[in-house]
Amino acid sequence: MKPTAQRRPGRAGFTLVEMLVAETVFLLLLVLVMQVVFTVTKISTDQKQQADALTVARQALDRMQLDWLARVRRADVTADFYKTTGNDSLGLLCQMRAYDGSRASLSAVAYRINPERAVGGQTDWQVFERGVTGFDWEGAEALTLPWHMADWRDKFTAGDYEILARNVFRLELSFLQKVRDPADSPYTADEDNALNLNSAELVAVVVTVAVLNEQGRKIATQQHLTELVQALPDAANARDTLTVWTELLNSPNFAPDVPLRVKAGIRVYQRVFYVSE
């Protein structure tokens, strides 16, 4: 009987070194994939927050435009474009009902940035608000002509205002005027002629707002928001406020004490309200 030849056993698996190399490559690929996913998610989240913030701003200015279109158009009724260092305010006499359910269909409407608003025991900073107070034709506050919105500014109470857009922290007014010299700019910060909406020189009111997304809102402190309000300058003659603010936001020296994550969440938006509307 012939002896049977013994066969050498074949390789049954990977060596320890090969396993370690494979696991290392797998972990590196996993880290790279996770970084890509994290980056894409962050970009998508930031873009969504920016879009949401701008949507809120547009809706707020849509509300303002409705009041603008419903304003009383009389030579003996003036608007109030109250310009100060920092946030401005706007007041109109409109054919709108007040929040209190008054029978009046005529109301004084005001827009402002409230630097400090207390709600439910919590304080919010730099909030865009809309205020309305109606006229009771049979009461002591009946409408008398001529009527000046500036005389009513101090008659608004805190209860007359509602939050219109929490993300809007900066409000600036400027004006478009007729120009006869092509070399002149139509932009002006002078409201002397704008107080009378029937002025032949006034073409439109330009409303510029700065919006901070929700993530930036969570991070920003009162001091940060105050610095941002001051860092965005008031309207200047012959300059478009939107262009000026956009240039500043792209500057590395803008609001140096404010965290970069907050500044990255700011966008500016502008709406033009024509007198002819």
The residues with which 109 forms a beta bridge, in sequence order, are 92, 132
pLDDT tens-digit readout, 53-99: 778 888 999 999 999 999 999 888 888 899 999 999 999 999 887 76
- 89 close to 128: Cβ distance less than 8 angstroms: no
Of residues 192, 52, 170, 198, the one with CA closest to residue 111: 170
Instruction: Share the mean pLDDT of the chain.
Output: 85
Q: How far is CA 45 from CA 15, 40, 173, 214, in A?
A: 45, 8, 31, 11
Asked if pLDDT for residue 196 goes beyond 80, the answer is no
- 218 close to 209: Cβ distance less than 8 angstroms: no
Peptide bond into 252 cis (omega under 30): no
Cβ burial, residue 87 (10 Å; 0-12/13-18/19+): buried
Q: Tell me what the mean pLDDT of segment 230-255 comes to.
A: 94
Task: Please tell me the predicted confidence (pLDDT) of residue 266.
Answer: 93
Return the percentage of the chain with pLDDT > 70, whole number.
Answer: 87
Task: Please tell me the predicted confidence (pLDDT) of residue 245.
Answer: 96
How many Å is the Cα radius of gyration of the chain? 30
In this structure, are strands 77-78 and 147-148 parallel, antiparallel, or unpaired?
Answer: parallel
**Residue 247 DSSP one-character state:** H
User: Where does the pLDDT of residue 119 fall: very low under 50, low under 70, confident under 90, or very high at 90 and above?
Assistant: confident
Asked if pLDDT for residue 4 goes beyond 60, the answer is no
> Would the pTM of this model clear 0.85, i.e. be above it?
no
